[in-house]
Amino acid sequence: MVHNRKSFSLEEYKISPFMIGTMRLGQWGSKMNASEIEKFIEGCIALDLIDFDHADIYGSYTTESDFGAVLKKRPDLRNQMRITTKCGIRIVSKNRPEHQIKSYDLTKDHIKRSVENSLLALHTDHIDTLLLHRPDFLFDPQEIARAFTALEKEGKVKNFGVSNFSISQCELLQEIFPLCTHQVEISLLHREAFENGILDQCQKWGITPTAWSPLGGGVLLNSSEDRNIAELQKKITLLAEKYHAQPDQVLLAWLRKHPAGIVSVLGTSKLSRIKNAKDSLKINLTHEEWYMLWQAATGTEIA
């Protein structure tokens, strides 16, 4: 059964030039209090970066609640932002005592229950975009489509996407329920999406690709004894000097150069680094500079 829902285009599904990742705001990172989270949200909105990326499991099922406590106090902020959250991973946590092992679950019941939990935690009546966090090897695309359709009709979720899916898994679902975004790891150190067809698929279907860990986990920003990393850093520094920029800005500009419209998910909890990231929009690498970094990252000249 194909669900009667039109496909998206890159023009229709507009998000900020960067997404604000929340994973490190709470227990899995900075352990920010409510006042700090409020100031952080205000700072991001002031920069016109209004897309916040969550997942139910962040902070061992606590980060959505920490963020939501601010929205309960400041409901005006909710109207100024868009919230993405993810579901489908079940981790062992004292906050989910029924979970015996880490597993994936994309059944209709789990998806709907996860959304209800997220709505309560975030103190909101809708999720702007829901992503399936990881592919469940047992997933039934028809069952997922039924869950998405129900959530959309109930007004609880506006848009739907996937995260970390393969080409075939994404296609299996896309053919019966059009998706708007695919979040996957992409950076100079993780280049698979450029070659395995994921970015091609995004362009074909008008799906916006978002990149988690766009800076390669910070590896390229720290000194390294790895010869290949050190050589790549030299090229990054060369371009940073040319554009009067910082190395992280060059890395973000490198991703943005791709015509698929890659949107980086910023994992920092520091507003200064988020402002720095936004300033990278001024950098437009040349074709040759893009390939210079590719060649340095792969260690070989392209064929």
**How would you write the pLDDT of the chain (303 residues) with one tens digit per residue?**
545 555 544 455 678 999 999 999 999 999 999 999 999 999 999 999 999 999 999 999 999 999 999 999 999 999 999 999 999 999 999 999 999 999 999 999 999 999 999 999 999 999 999 999 999 999 999 999 999 999 999 999 999 999 999 999 999 999 999 999 999 999 999 999 999 999 999 999 999 999 999 999 999 998 888 999 999 999 999 999 999 999 999 999 999 999 999 999 999 999 999 999 999 999 999 999 999 999 999 999 988
Dihedral sign (CA 173, 84, 184, 295): positive
- Residue 253 resides in a domain: no
**Cβ-count burial of 246 within 10 angstroms (0-12 exposed, 13-18 middle, 19+ buried)?**
middle
Residue range of the domain that includes 42 = 18-222+259-282
Structure tokens at 98: 């029924």
The answer to whether 212 and 183 have CB atoms below 8 angstroms apart is yes
Within a domain: residue 7? no
Catalytic residue (one of 13, 58, 243, 291): 58
Active site residue 58: yes
Computed from CA positions of residues 194, 167, 154, 114, in that sequence, does the dihedral angle turn out positive or negative? Answer: negative
- pTM of this prediction? 0.95
Dump pLDDT digits (tens) for 33-69. Answer: 999 999 999 999 999 999 999 999 999 999 999 999 9
Instruction: Say if 169 falls within a structural domain.
Output: yes
CA-based nearest residue to 220, from 206, 235, 201: 235
Tokens 């920010």 sit on residue: 32
> Using CB atoms within 10 A of its CB, is residue 230 exposed (0-12), middle (13-18) or buried (19+)?
exposed
In a domain, 11, yes or no: no
CATH number of the domain where residue 130 is located: 3.20.20.100
pLDDT in tens, 166-210: 999 999 999 999 999 999 999 999 999 999 999 999 999 999 999
